Amino acid sequence: MHLRHFRNYDDLTVHFAPGVNVLIGHNAQGKTNMLEAIYALSLTKSHRTNNDRDLINWQHQSAMISGVVEKQTGRVPLELQFTTKGKKAKVNHLEQARLSSYVGQLNAILFAPEDLSLVKGAPALRRHFMDTEFSQMSSKYLYDASQYRTLLRQRNKYLKQLKYGQQHDRVLLSVLSDQLAAYGAEVIVARYHFLHQLEKWAANLHEQISLQAEQLKLKYITQVNVGDDTSVDQVYHQLLKIYQDHQEREVDQGTTSYGPQRDDIHFVVNGKNVQAFGSQGQQRTTALSVKLAEIDLMKEQTGEYPLLLLDDVLSELDTIRQTHLLTAIQDKVQTFLTTTSLSDVARQLIHQPTIFEIKNGNLIKEEA
Ligand SMILES: Nc1ncnc2c1ncn2[C@@H]1O[C@H](COP(=O)(O)OP(=O)(O)OP(=O)(O)O)[C@@H](O)[C@H]1O
């Protein structure tokens, strides 16, 4: 990987190892920035800011991240350039007209301490989780979800204009409702199936981590009826009917109250919703199982394991959970783990880690 003028990195080339890469450093040296660079190389955007300008070093006007991904099908050079005017993404040195044709070349799963609140946090967090993860597995999902978001913004704007009498034409509202229902149905059916697949892997991991004491189920919460055999067309008609039945109410409120932007996931352990009734430990085990399950699901869906980015999470987990995490990933997932100091437990658990010391935007590889 090569970074130029990215955050606090000036000009850095680094060769990472295929196994576990440990990035050790004091606070504010560039550990999270490095994970952010890898994440951005995967998804074209940061996990912690929506403003790409934040990624550019304060002394400069542009930044670059490039890297070579070694896939089963061969080596793929990727490059991202950020300027104050926008960004460019290249695959195999060719600029991509759409960012969506770039995403999916390199998949990455990031796990940070705040992800432990996936279970107890707000529903928006769980929707964001579905969107980021499923978009990496399916370019169709990425496209449908982004079309849905654009249409939702347009429809909300139009509903507000109707509410305040700036517009009167209900025909245009019907057109927007129809298009919104079409993309909404794609998103809902895809989420249902992906969550069903994710549950298989997550339940298995949860059972192991809880030493066979707990059974985890994932329940997809959405406003329409959806099951194993429900078609996209059936969901589309349900949504369309909801929009027709509630048109006056939505105009009154000036916003769209129905659709996948209101979805949620319930995590159920031994028959009880963990969000409401689970102990902190159960909530953490659930979050960990779901995150680890994504690794296997991505492999199943794409044929390649994703990269795993662990931002200072070991210190947040007890020994049992650390052991499960580290044994689940070893020898199969290329991992990048940041820490201010590696505990003795972790040192013993990681097979042949490659250790880099991060100091003020520089990486120094420790000799084995
Ligand atoms: N655009 C930027 N240009 C220059 N420096 C930046 C930019 N954005 C952030 N920094 C600096 O990068 C430094 C490293 O930040 P980073 O978040 O990577 O720290 P860290 O090593 O993960 O530390 P911690 O252990 O405290 O989380 C910070 O001092 C921050 O001020």
In single-letter form, the type of residue at position 212 comes to Q
Residue 324 confidence class, pLDDT cut points 50, 70, 90: confident
pLDDT for position 164: 96
The SS3 call for residue 43 is helix
**Residue 168: both structure tokens together:** 């009167």
Residue 40 has pLDDT above 80, yes or no: yes
Over pLDDT 90: what percentage of the chain? Answer: 85
C-alpha 7 – ligand 1 centre gap (Å): 7
Q: Whose CA is nearest to atom 16 of ligand 1?
A: 30
pLDDT for position 274: 95
236 found inside a domain: yes
Provide the residue range defining the domain that includes 164. 116-303
C-alpha 305 – ligand 1 centre gap (Å): 28
Q: Which range, of 13-17, 33-37, 135-139, 218-222, averages the lowest pLDDT?
A: 135-139
159 found inside a domain: yes
pLDDT for position 34: 98
Q: Which residues pair with 336 in a beta bridge?
A: 21, 309
Q: Which residues pair with 267 in a beta bridge?
A: 218
340 lines ligand 1 (CB under 6 A): yes
**Residue 133: both structure tokens together:** 């993860």
User: Measured over all CA atoms, what is the biggest interatomic distance in the chain, rounded to whole angstroms?
Assistant: 72
Residue 59 confidence class, pLDDT cut points 50, 70, 90: very high
C-alpha 141 – ligand 1 centre gap (Å): 33
Cα–Cα distances (Å) from 70 to 18, 77, 208, 308, 363, in that order, read: 10, 9, 32, 15, 21
**Complete edge-to-edge strand list for the sheet that includes strand 74-83:** 9-13, 2-6, 62-71, 74-83, 86-91, 94-95
Q: Whose CA is nearest to atom 29 of ligand 1?
A: 28
Average pLDDT rounded to a whole number, residues 47-69: 97
To the question of whether residue 32 is assigned a binding role by annotation, the answer is yes
Residue 327 has pLDDT above 90, yes or no: no
Indicate which atom in ligand 1 lies nearest the CA of residue 54: 1
C-alpha 343 – ligand 1 centre gap (Å): 23
212 found inside a domain: yes
Counted domains in the chain: 1
Residue 299 has pLDDT above 90, yes or no: yes
Residue among 32, 60, 84 to mutate when testing ligand 1 (max atoms within 8 A of CB) = 32
C-alpha 360 – ligand 1 centre gap (Å): 9
Residue 113 has pLDDT above 90, yes or no: no
316 found inside a domain: no
273 found inside a domain: yes
C-alpha 63 – ligand 1 centre gap (Å): 15
To the question of whether residue 278 is assigned a binding role by annotation, the answer is no
What average pLDDT does the structure give for the chain? 94
To the question of whether residue 182 is assigned a binding role by annotation, the answer is no
Residue among 5, 9, 29 to mutate when testing ligand 1 (max atoms within 8 A of CB) = 29
Cα–Cα distances (Å) from 85 to 26, 33, 89, in that order, read: 33, 22, 14
62 found inside a domain: no
Output phi, psi for 131, to 5 deg: -65, -45
Average pLDDT rounded to a whole number, residues 330-339: 92
243 found inside a domain: yes
Average pLDDT rounded to a whole number, residues 16-36: 96
**Residue 235: both structure tokens together:** 């969901």
CA distance 187 to 130: 10
To the question of whether residue 271 is assigned a binding role by annotation, the answer is no
Residue 84 has pLDDT above 80, yes or no: yes
Q: Whose CA is nearest to atom 7 of ligand 1?
A: 7
Task: Write out the DSSP string of 138-198.
Answer: -HHHHHHHHHHHHHHHHHHHHHHHHHTTS---HHHHHHHHHHHHHHHHHHHHHHHHHHHHH
98 found inside a domain: no
CA distance 367 to 217: 45
pLDDT (tens digit, 9 = 90+) per residue, 116-133?
Answer: 889 999 999 999 999 999
C-alpha 283 – ligand 1 centre gap (Å): 30
Residue 326 has pLDDT above 80, yes or no: yes
Residue 244 has pLDDT above 80, yes or no: yes
ipTM more than 0.85? Answer: yes
C-alpha 34 – ligand 1 centre gap (Å): 9
In single-letter form, the type of residue at position 126 comes to R
Task: Write out the DSSP string of 247-288.
Answer: HHHHHHHTS--SSGGG-EEEEEETTEEHHHH--HHHHHHHHH
339 lines ligand 1 (CB under 6 A): no
pLDDT (tens digit, 9 = 90+) per residue, 180-222?
Answer: 999 999 999 999 999 999 999 999 999 998 889 999 999 999 9
Average pLDDT rounded to a whole number, residues 267-293: 93
Average pLDDT rounded to a whole number, residues 20-31: 96
Output phi, psi for 275, to 5 deg: -65, -40
33 lines ligand 1 (CB under 6 A): yes
Tallying the residues shown for the chain, one arrives at 368
Q: Whose CA is nearest to atom 13 of ligand 1?
A: 28
Give Cα 83 to chain centroid, integer Å. Answer: 24
To the question of whether residue 27 is assigned a binding role by annotation, the answer is yes
pTM, two decimal places: 0.90
- We report the CATH number of the domain holding residue 215 as 1.20.1050.90
7 lines ligand 1 (CB under 6 A): yes
Indicate which atom in ligand 1 lies nearest the CA of residue 311: 22
Q: Which residues pair with 358 in a beta bridge?
A: 363
Residue 343 confidence class, pLDDT cut points 50, 70, 90: confident
The SS3 call for residue 8 is coil
pLDDT for position 107: 94
Residue 75 has pLDDT above 90, yes or no: yes
Q: Which range, of 29-43, 216-230, 283-297, averages the lowest pLDDT?
A: 283-297
Burial class of residue 39 in the structure, from the number of CB atoms within 10 Å of its CB (0-12 exposed, 13-18 middle, 19+ buried): buried
Closest C-alpha among 160, 177, 162, 194 to residue 263 = 194
